[in-house]
Amino acid sequence: MDQLAPRRIALIKPSALGDIVHALPVLSALRGRFPDARITWVVNKSYEPLVAGHPDLTDTLAFDRGVFKNRARAAVAYSFRFAAELRRRRFDLVIDLQGLLRTGLMCLATGAPRRVGFANAREGSRYAYTDKVHVPDAARIHAVDRYWRVAEALGAGDLPKRFHVPISTDARAWARAALAGLPRPVVAVAVGAKWVTKRWPPAHFADLLRRAQAAVGGACVFVGTGDDTAAALEVTAGLRGPAADFTGKTTLPQLVALLAAADAMVGNDTGPLHLAAAVGRPCVAPYTCTRVALHGPYGSVAGGVETSVPCGGSYLKTCDKMICMPELTPDRLWGQLSEVLDAWARSCRSA
């Protein structure tokens, strides 16, 4: 594979937000390895704004999963149209970083002569690949490093891992206006997560953030979807300092700009946490059902604090015990957050 010279490359990584962030270094490596190739990112429509305009991309191809919530006939018709579009683009190299049945079928639909994916990909998708990348230590390495094995297989492993997240001028201006008047340090907070087993209790967030505001002042800004608003407001009610709620109120580009303008991030293992790490914000996060070594905020992994209960890191989406939540107390995270805030204070004094 390291001898390939493709002219048209498709990178298939439709979702989720954190996983797309983890795949960004592979995109930059592909551009470095194949500077003259057309590179298209196949991405879910809802996440397309995150990578649209990326300097290492030629274009994007949005996949609308919302269609599949409608009538079966409409979904089938859309699938055929999307497959035809994949074929029309005449890719000669396709890279599937998702590894599911849906993305395996996308690979086949392209008709590309070289289709690359992981040897241990799920749902039979590995049978769609002409070239399989083996990662025998996949259960022990971070998702970023696992995706990077594809870059290595394509002869780009000696390039640096770069997280480039495009931020438009308009989005930066919006973030400056949104944060105007709030005292620093600004701590971005993500209290939500799709998995209930990732959701640290609002009372824990409130306790931790009260300590932060008592120590250095500053403001807390809450980010996430509209589903997170109730929990964000519950945490806000427990604070004594300034706070602003942006849950469900930002576009994806605005979220990126808001995180880039913040001074630190506190959040569950979810998309905004990994976005914050990608734009260089120091992160502190409770880890209950997932593991820091595999899915911690990359580059800020020391800020991830794991539960010590025997079932920690189980990757279960639901649990009828949730014994990790009372065990992983705010005291356990305060040391890391205190270090982040002290570093911020020192940088302000030296500026």
Three-class secondary structure of residue 192 per DSSP: coil
Q: What is the pLDDT along the chain (351 residues), one digit of tens a residue?
A: 888 999 999 999 999 999 999 999 999 999 999 999 999 999 999 999 999 999 999 999 999 998 988 788 889 999 999 999 999 999 999 999 999 999 999 999 999 999 999 999 999 999 999 999 999 999 999 999 999 999 999 999 999 999 999 999 999 999 999 999 999 999 999 999 999 999 999 999 999 999 999 999 999 999 999 999 999 999 999 999 999 999 999 999 999 999 999 999 999 999 999 999 999 999 999 999 999 999 999 988 679 999 999 999 999 999 999 999 999 999 999 999 999 999 999 999 876
Q: Length of the chain in residues, anyone?
A: 351
The CB density around residue 121, as the number of other CB atoms within 10 Å, is 22
Distance (Å, whole) CA 87 – CA 111: 6
**Contact in structure between 54 and 27 (CB atoms under 8 Å):** yes
Strand order in the sheet with 219-222: 243-245, 219-222, 186-190, 264-267, 283-287, 304-306
| Type of residue found at 187 | V
For the record, the structure tokens of 59 come out as 């274009």
Distance (Å, whole) CA 196 – CA 290: 12
This prediction's pTM: 0.95
Q: For residue 235, what are the contacts with CB-CB under 8 A and spacing of at least 6? A: 189, 191, 202, 205, 206, 209, 220, 222
CATH of the domain spanning 8-153? 3.40.50.2000
Q: Domains of the chain: which residue ranges?
A: 8-153, 169-350
The reported pLDDT for the residue numbered 184 is: 97
Burial (CB count within 10 angstroms: exposed 0-12, middle 13-18, buried 19+), residue 177:
exposed
Output the CA–CA distances (angstroms, integers) from residue 345 to 115, 218, 262, 320, 330, in the order listed: 50, 11, 14, 42, 21
End-to-end CA distance of the chain: 48
Cis peptide before 276 (omega within 30 of 0): no
Tell me whether domains 8-153 and 169-350 share a fold: yes
Distance (Å, whole) CA 189 – CA 299: 18
Of 3.40.50.2000, 1.10.150.50, 3.90.220.20, 3.10.400.10, which CATH number belongs to 169-350?
Answer: 3.40.50.2000
Three-class secondary structure of residue 158 per DSSP: coil
